[in-house]
Amino acid sequence: MFLVLRATFYAALFIGLVLIKFPGWLASPALEFPASMGWPQRGGVTVMLLGLSLMLWCVAMFVAVGRGTPAPFDPPRRLVARGPYAIVRNPMYLGAVLMVSGAALFYESMALQWYAWCFFGLAHLMVVSYEEPKLRDTFGDSYDAYCSSVGRWVPR
């Protein structure tokens, strides 16, 4: 139970700060709630909900399969290669990009879309320079086998 609470807290903190507060602050004066709900708003809500659902599924897999959380200082103890992780190696970051891109569409904000692209670029750098070497050290041959069968960002 404590693991579920930790994972929920870390996920809420990440979503609240990195995906809502910070991008909202960056695009702040230009962001206005749309006067009507046209196709960009409906599409944006759909994309945001897809991204959120993907991220929550990832957190659930970290807890249930990996016995850990999404936080780098409290990571899964077992390699998670099921659920969305059987399709791509970094679905949580893709979910985050979808959430911000959905908000960009909802608000029709190029500033938010730039944030989504920058976030993706920084996530890629973090994955390549820190996460993958750490996972390789932690899980060894099983991680190498996983990498050879599952793409980093695009399904194989």
All residues at 6 or more sequence positions from 40 whose CB lies less than 8 Å from its CB, including other chains: 34, 105, 106, 108
| Residue range of the domain that includes 114 | 2-149
Residue-wise pLDDT for 9-44, tens only, equals 888 888 877 877 878 787 777 677 888 889 999 999
- pTM for the whole thing? 0.89
Q: Count up the domains in the chain and report the number.
A: 1
Q: Answer whether residue 115 is part of any domain.
A: yes
Q: Answer whether residue 156 is part of any domain.
A: no
Residue 150: C-alpha distances to residues 3, 77, 86, 107, 145 (Å): 27, 20, 7, 34, 9
Q: Is there a contact between 59 and 7 (Cβ–Cβ < 8 Å)?
A: yes
Q: Answer whether residue 68 is part of any domain.
A: yes
Q: Answer whether residue 110 is part of any domain.
A: yes
Residue-wise pLDDT for 66-118, tens only, equals 998 888 888 899 999 999 999 999 999 999 999 999 999 999 999 999 999 99
Q: Answer whether residue 10 is part of any domain.
A: yes
